[in-house]
Amino acid sequence: MSAKISSLTLPAPAKLNRMLHIVGRRQDGYHELQTLFQFIDLCDYLTFTPRADSVITLSNALNGVAHDDNLIVRAAQLLQQASGVQQGVSVAIEKKLPMGGGLGGGSSNAATTLVGLNHLWQLGLSKETLAELGLTLGADVPVFIHGHSAWAEGVGEKLTPVTLDTPWFVVIHPAVSVSTPAIFQDPELTRDSLPITMARALQGGAPEWRNDCEAIVRKRYPPIAEALDWLTQHAPSRLTGTGACLFAAFDSQQAAQTVAQMASQHWHSWVARGLNTSPLQDALGR
């Protein structure tokens, strides 16, 4: 390993689904989606330190996730296998994104690992190649690799870059963990929303900007319903992914901070800025 790079610290940003429609179900059980992905400036941070051997280690594994099941480790192993590289890495994570929150934390960690190690190991693989690898780890991984707000179809992997407004968001995480498989398997889930065009989706506003998972999540998780009802008093509010996190957009940082401060009396909350380019792309200067 070249001594030029001693270690590399990179962000793994959160995403929001500004809208999420379920327009069908495939024979393999996966659902056909239409969604708008947007990044926010709330991030985990991963530090990659090269090793002299070929071992991959994660120094501070997450509670309840076995080392070899962690998407960071799986992404690094996948890149090793795909590229034939003999180099190893030690990874440390500063975890800020809640697990099972609908913010894409695990997928973002995997994407940052693929992008970061491509740089650290000097592999020279394209974003397209990395996204193909990432898709085998999770449907949301490609959008984090490409690093731009996107209109997504299929299972979320068919991406068209778009430019969205960049408001300030209040993000609330009720103290519950949502089972994504349970939501998608619920017999009452709406699976037949009529497909819309990207142009129509980009116009924003109701009824297009909704989340088809929300009714089931509200029913199954009363604390999320309570938080949504509270936040909706201050601005139109939606679930991101299958939750548990929910969000609302505000025109100014001050307005968002005022609402977040009130929310923090009941729930974990953040103020985050909407972004069209991922902080990961900015960190690597491309």
Among 209, 145, 206, 130, smallest CA distance to 15 is for: 145
Is residue 140 part of the annotated active site? The answer reads: yes
Decide if 41 contacts 273 (C-beta within 8 A). yes
Q: Which one from 140, 212, 251, 282 is the annotated catalytic residue?
A: 140
Please give the backbone phi and psi of residue 209, each rounded to the nearest 5 degrees, phi first: -85, 80
Q: 259 CB contacts (<8 Å, ≥6 apart)?
A: 170, 231, 234, 235, 248, 250
Crossing angle for the helix pair 105-120 and 127-135, to the nearest 10 degrees: 140
Q: Which one from 4, 15, 95, 192 is the annotated catalytic residue?
A: 15
Strands 88-94 and 56-58: parallel
Is residue 127 part of the annotated active site? The answer reads: no
Tokens of 244: 């548990």
Q: Which long-range contacts (CB under 8 A, 24 or more apart) does 196-201 make?
A: 196/21, 196/34, 198/151, 198/160, 198/162, 201/19, 201/34, 201/36, 201/151
**Enzyme catalytic residues:** 15, 140
